[in-house]
Structure 1
């Protein structure tokens, strides 16, 4: 029964699915793609990719992940592993297109995007889009893809201090944009030490 195979795979842990995929079971890897595809595309969108480009790079990342699945040792999450692959592929694409130079200059151009809606929900993607390109890329790599500052610096071919500055400025801007207008939550946090 085809449906029972799908249900059986859906109940397995990512590490078990990786082991089955490494043994040649394509459906196991398909389950990993189903579980984590939208998160990988979301990371790429936060890094600045347009929807179609995010889809293309995510597909390339999963293909690379399938080819290298035996290298996944389960020391971290599969999602983190494939996100790092996707982030690096996207950065290589940017470098090929010579669009990466904009990240080194630290330009502060920002897009006008709403950070939330009338219900008070936070729009992290909208807030990220308002960051300068270098800040958005560095914050996305360090917090979305799980790269260290040093790994992000190497991937972007930037000095470590530049990456740290972009991350700090980006996080400061995100905190300011995403904080409640009345400051109630911030006041409570200060009191808790």
Structure 2
């Protein structure tokens, strides 16, 4: 696991935790593409990634002071994005998408953008059928290039669990098993 003391964000973090708005803004600017990209990989939708990225940025305003430096900032940040993606998935399940469909029908919201289907096809074609636990591991390890240890920390599981999930993902994607969920 990477040593958090070698984190290139340490100076900005210290200033942001101390209340420096410019440092906080610089952190957001530095990591916004990572936040949005990870959310997009987890959801497969640009619109959902936009919503999650906005939620994460707002959440960071409150949570930045709780960062203890036990992990690299990017690892901690990826954990917040994963949790925000899970929260979105839970909200969608609880409402069964009814309110979103109704809003589109009533003209209050836009339907899916054709670019989302084209731009996200690689995500959907490779991991859409995977159970969320496998999908999250694959996105963090393969998509975000995190170590198994960093992914385990974010997901709240043992490093060996992430290693096993990645083994299973490779097996499932090569046609050796079902990953449906």
TM-score of the aligned structures, taking structure 2 as reference length? 0.59
Shift of 1:94: 0.4
Contact 1:138 1:152 in 2 (8 A): no
Shift of 1:23: 1.5
Superposition CA RMSD, Å: 3.6
Shift of 1:127: 4.6
Larger RCO (CA under 8 A, 6+ residues apart): 2
Contact 1:62 1:82 in 2 (8 A): no
Aligned to 1:48: 43
Aligned to 2:61: 66
Aligned to 2:138: 139
Gap change, CA 1:150 and 1:69, over 3 Å in 2: closer
Shift of 1:170: 1.9
Unpaired segments ≥5 residues, structure 1: 1-12, 102-112, 115-124, 154-159, 178-193
Count of aligned pairs between the two proteins: 136
Question: Structure 1 segments of 4 or more deviating over 4 A?
Answer: 163-166
TM-score of the aligned structures, taking structure 1 as reference length? 0.56
Aligned to 1:169: 168
Contact 1:149 1:164 in 2 (8 A): no
